[in-house]
Structures are given as structure tokens and as C-alpha cells.
Amino acid sequence: MVQFVKCKVCGYVIKESKLGDLCPACGVKKSAFEPYEPTISEKRMKILEFHIHPILVHFPQGFIPFILGISILVAILNEPIQTYFLMALRILSVALPFVLVAALSAGILDGKIRFKSITTPMLKQKIMVGSTAIILSILLAVSAFLIDSNSLEILWSITLSLILLGCSVFLGYVGGHLTCSVRVGK
Ligand SMILES: [Zn+2]
């Protein structure tokens, strides 16, 4: 059986066989380590170690500030450059609902493995805000195609992307409290 040890100073957990002279995380001496009995099954641990959440969830959220920035450029620039940014805005806006659906699914899977349930108060909040963001992103994609060069619809795009940015900040804020937590039990 694999023996684990835990750093008493920073909490880092490592296989005993892999431990060198210093804690690889905080740098204290090996003597600061104590035996550690993992509280979750190796299988759950392996899945969590893939870190699907930051990769699949934060990457799509990066689209949102881009869309906001490009919408502002479309509003202030004139033809012919405006046309290029409008095209970029349309491509990103159409991609957004798809990446958000992938992100929500990854988030639900992560929550299910981490907390064994997706109906905890914080996860319910996240799922509600995430679903709202998907609906808003569909409206945003539609509105991106209604914009023409002199119309006011661009303000609608800017407003929607600001609200989406708010959703994503909220999701990140709640998520920040969750990423280090895991429900114990094999
Ligand atoms: Zn340490």
C-alpha cells in the first residue's frame, strides 16, 4: 500500500517514496512531515488531480472580457475597420454559448466528484448563475447579428457582456472558496 505523508507547515501531501530533503511546496525540512491517511479514495483523488475545472471553466470565461472590449471598439470605430471587429464579435459571440455549456458541464462534474452532491447551497448558486449566463450568452449571440454599422444595438451587446462579466466574477468568487475543499469519505 502507498504511504502518504503531510507537511505540518503547509499541508502539502506527497507519497513518502517521493519525498526528498525538503517540502517541495514550502521548503521546510523533511522532519516537518507526518504520516497521512488519505480521506478520499484514490480514484476520486486522481480525477480531482486532473484539474478539469480551471482548464475547462476559466478558459471559456476569458471570452467574456474580449467580447466586451470588441463591442466597445465596434461602438467607437468607423468603417472600414469597424467591419472587422464586428466580424470578430460575431464569431466570439456565437462560440460563447457552446463553451459556456461545456464549462457548466465540467463544473457540475467537478462538484459531483468533489462534494458527492450538486445540491449544496453554494453549488446550487453556481449552477443557477451559470445557467443564467448561458441564456444571456444566447441573447448576446443573437444581438451580435442584429448590429449594423450605425445602430444602437451595440449598446445592448455592451450591456449583456457587462452582466456576463458580473456573472463570471461571481462564479469565480464563490469558486475561489470551493477549490480547496473536498468532502471526505472514500
Ligand atoms: Zn510544506
> CB count, 10 Å around CB of 151?
10
Tens-digit pLDDT profile for residues 22-51: 999 999 999 999 999 888 887 888 888 777
Any alpha helices (H) in the chain, and if so which ranges?
Answer: 42-49, 52-53, 59-61, 63-76, 81-115, 121-146, 153-178
Q: How far is the CA of 15 from the centre of ligand 1 (A)?
A: 13
Q: How far is the CA of 28 from the centre of ligand 1 (A)?
A: 6
CA dist., res. 90 & res. 83, Å (int): 11
pLDDT the model gives residue 149:
61
Q: How far is the CA of 10 from the centre of ligand 1 (A)?
A: 4
Tens-digit pLDDT profile for residues 88-103: 999 999 999 999 999 8
Query: Which is it for the CA torsion 34, 44, 56, 132, positive or negative?
Result: negative
Q: How far is the CA of 45 from the centre of ligand 1 (A)?
A: 19
Q: How far is the CA of 40 from the centre of ligand 1 (A)?
A: 21
Q: Which residues contact 6 (CB under 8 A, 6 or more apart)?
A: 12, 13, 14, 33, 34, 35, 36
Q: How far is the CA of 33 from the centre of ligand 1 (A)?
A: 8
CA dist., res. 30 & res. 90, Å (int): 55
